Structure 1
Amino acid sequence: MVKLVEKSVYPQIEASIEKMLSEKPPFILLHQVKEIIDKEVDSRLQKECQITLTQFRALAFLYHRMLRGERVQLSELADILRVTKGNVTGLIDRLRAQNYVRRVRDKGDRRRIFVEITPEGLEKLKSAIPHFQNFMQNLMTTIFTKEEMMQFHKLLKKFNEKLPSALAEIKEHKTEQH
């Protein structure tokens, strides 16, 4: 049985949690926005293109790597999509059943398996891209003015560019404390 802790025992923690939940700091807002958009895009892609958002992202990544002449292993695709290796195996099985991807064994090491987009997969991706782009464009222009959109883009770009060094700095600072 869980024993309830009286509020007065941890007033600072209680206040911090209350503030976080009532004010919704940027990290919570970012997560909420991503979740809402992902859910809507997934629903629209399934309805209009018979493909999930995760399948769309997988095909887009495979196509991008194909253009660069690079091959993709299942484990790398799992990392990029932020899913487990088991989930990516199921994803690839479903895409393969529709002939959108194929598995190719490495000639030098038969244990290594690569995933490649097929011509049918490329056609599916090309047909889905306009749906994705139109939805995102309509969403952004409905929410933001042109000036706000430019500022939002500028801030997101800055956040994205500085994130790796900021994370490294935080990690380094934490290491110094211990």
Structure 2
Amino acid sequence: MTREATMAADEAPSKARLRLWLRLLKVTRKVEGRLRERLRTEFATTLPRFDVMSALNRHDQGLKMSELSGVLKVSNGNVTGIVDRLVEEGLVIRGAVEGDRRANLVRLTRKGHEHFAVQAREHEAWIDEMLADMPANESENLAHRLDALVQALEEPESKK
């Protein structure tokens, strides 16, 4: 095998993985763009607001602001303004955390749960529509592979 052929063979896996990453990024951006547009036009809301309500919906007991930021993987500052507006609209309540005067616990109100449930149903339908060309078994297989990749990426570098 020539040197050029050996180099090309060695590069093929890395090039394929690079192309995969670029395609994943492209699909993510397209889906996210459509979700943002539909949330804006159909519910006069934003994807970050939807994400905050979704996180709170999964934690009925509520979350401290720092926990909410951690779940969403954003800064406290990013979440504070959204929570403030949700409180003003009666969708979220803020309460004191026993034993920690500096912390606030936020959770959805009944109105917030009802409001989010409508959005969540539509969100699921939009995703189903956008990914309808992918059979369910392929979706599950790809989801498992991506979960394994996330798990591998979360391992510390020293363990690899």
Return the TM-score normalized by structure 1: 0.72
Give the superposition deviation at 1:73: 1.1
Deviates more, 1:128-137 or 1:77-86: 77-86
Matched, 1:101 2:88: no
Partner of 1:11: none
Partner of 1:154: 141
Please state whether the residue corresponding to 1:111 is helix, strand or coil.
strand
Give the superposition deviation at 1:121: 0.9
The AA in structure 2 aligned to 1:105 is A
2:31, 2:130 within 8 Å by CA — same for their partners in 1? no
Measure the CA separation in 2 of the matches of 1:55 and 1:171: 37
Structure 1 vs Structure 2 CA RMSD: 2.6
Deviations 1:90-124 (Å, cap 9, x if unpaired)? Answer: 11112112111111111322112111111111111
Structure 1 unaligned regions, length at least 5? 1-15, 174-178
C-alpha change, 1:39 and 1:171, in structure 2 (3 Å) is farther
Please state whether the residue corresponding to 2:102 is helix, strand or coil.
coil
Out of 117, 136, 146, which is 1:126 matched to? 117
Query: Moved runs in structure 1, 4+ residues, more than 6 A?
Result: none
2:95, 2:106 within 8 Å by CA — same for their partners in 1? yes
Measure the CA separation in 1 of the matches of 2:53 and 2:149: 28
Structure 2 unaligned regions, length at least 5? 1-10
Out of 101, 106, 109, which is 1:115 matched to? 106
Partner of 1:82: 73
Measure the CA separation in 2 of the matches of 1:50 and 1:71: 25
Deviates more, 1:129-138 or 1:149-158: 149-158
Deviations 1:77-102 (Å, cap 9, x if unpaired)? Answer: 11222222111111111211211111
Deviates more, 1:163-172 or 1:56-65: 163-172
Q: How many residues align?
A: 149
Measure the CA separation in 1 of the matches of 2:157 and 2:146: 15
